[in-house]
Chains A and B, each alone.
Chain A
Amino acid sequence: MYEGAVQELIDELGRLPGIGPKSAQRLAFHILEADAGDMQKLAEAITAVKTRVKFCSICGNVSEQDTCSICRDPRRDASVICVVEESKDVMAVERTRSFRGRYHVLGGAISPIDGIGPEKLRIRELLTRLSDDTVQEIIIATDPNVEGEATATYLIRTLKPIGVKVTRLASGLPVGGDLEYADEATLGRAFAGRLAV
Chain B
Amino acid sequence: MDLVAEASFTSRAYRDDAVVLRTHKLGEADRILTLLTKHHGQVRAVARGVRRTSSRFGSRLEPFMVADLQLVPGRSLEVVTQAQSKGAYGHAIASDYSRYTVATAMAETAEKLTDVDGESGTAQYQLLVGALAALSRGAQEPGLILDSYLLRALATGGWAPSFTSCARCDAPGPHTAFNAALGGVVCADCRPPGSPAPAPGTIVLLAALLSGDWETAAASEPRERSEAAGLVTAYLQWHLERRVKSLQHVDRQP
Any A CB within 8 A of the CB of B202: no
By a CB distance below 8 angstroms, the chain B residues around A117 are: 248-249
Known A-B contacts A153-B97, A175-B59; A113 and B107 likewise in contact (beta carbons under 8 Å): yes
Residues of B close to A183: CB separation below 8 A: 53
Residues on A with beta carbons closer than 8 Å to the beta carbon of B30: 18
With A176-B62, A181-B52 given, is the CB distance from A153 to B96 under 8 Å?
yes
Residues in B neighbouring A178, C-beta threshold 8 A = 29, 51-53
Choice from B25, B55, B95, B246 contacting A149 with Cβ under 8 Å = B95
The answer to the question of B197 belonging to the interface, with a C-beta cut-off of 8 Å to chain A, is no
Q: Output the least CB separation between A170 and chain B (Å).
A: 15
In whole angstroms, how far apart are the Cα atoms of A111 and B245 in the complex? 10
B1-59 CB contacts (< 8 Å) to partner A: 22, 25-30, 50-55, 57-59
A150 at the interface (CB under 8 A from B): yes
Q: Which of A142-156 contact B (CB under 8 A)?
A: 144-147, 149-150, 153-154
Using Cβ atoms and an 8 Å threshold, which residues of chain B touch A111?
A: 104
Judging by beta carbons under 8 Å apart, are A177 and B95 in contact?
A: no
A9 touches B (CB below 8 Å): no
A173 within 8 A of B: yes
| Interface residue total, chain A, C-beta cutoff 8 A | 28
A193 at interface (Cβ–Cβ under 8 A)?
no
**Taking the nearest CB of chain A, how far is it from the CB of B49, in angstroms?**
9
Contact A113 B22 (CB under 8 A): yes
C-alpha gap A176/B30 in the complex (Å): 12
Q: Does the CB pair B108–A113 fall under 8 Å?
A: yes
* Other-chain contact of A176, B60, B93, B100, B250 (Cβ < 8 Å): B60
Contact across chains for A177 and B245 when beta carbons are under 8 A apart: no
Contact in complex: A154, B57 (CB < 8 Å): no
Chain B nearest CB: distance from A194 CB in Å?
Answer: 17
User: A78 near B: Cβ within 8 Å?
Assistant: no
**Could you tell me if B101 and A112 are in contact, using CB atoms closer than 8 angstroms?**
yes
CB of A17 within 8 Å of the partner chain: yes
Instruction: Find the B residue at minimum CB distance from A157.
Output: B97
A115 contacts partner chain B, Cβ-Cβ < 8 Å? yes
B105 located at the interface, meaning its Cβ lies under 8 Å from any Cβ of chain A in the complex: yes
Contacts of A186 in B (CB 8 A): 53
Contact code string A128-164 (vs B, CB < 8 Å = 1, else 0): 0000000000000000111101100110010000000
Question: For the complex, is A31 an interface residue (Cβ under 8 Å from B)?
Answer: no
- Which chain A residues border B63 with CB–CB below 8 Å? 113, 146-147
A167 to chain B, nearest CB (A): 16
Hey, which chain B residues are within 8 Å of A18, CB to CB?
26-28, 30
Residues of B within 8 A of A (CB): 22, 25-30, 50-55, 57-65, 90-91, 93-97, 100-101, 104-105, 107-108, 245-246, 248-250
Q: A175-B58, A177-B50, A177-B54 are in contact. List 9 more A-B contacts (CB 8 A).
A: A111-B104, A112-B245, A114-B22, A150-B100, A176-B55, A176-B57, A176-B59, A176-B60, A181-B52
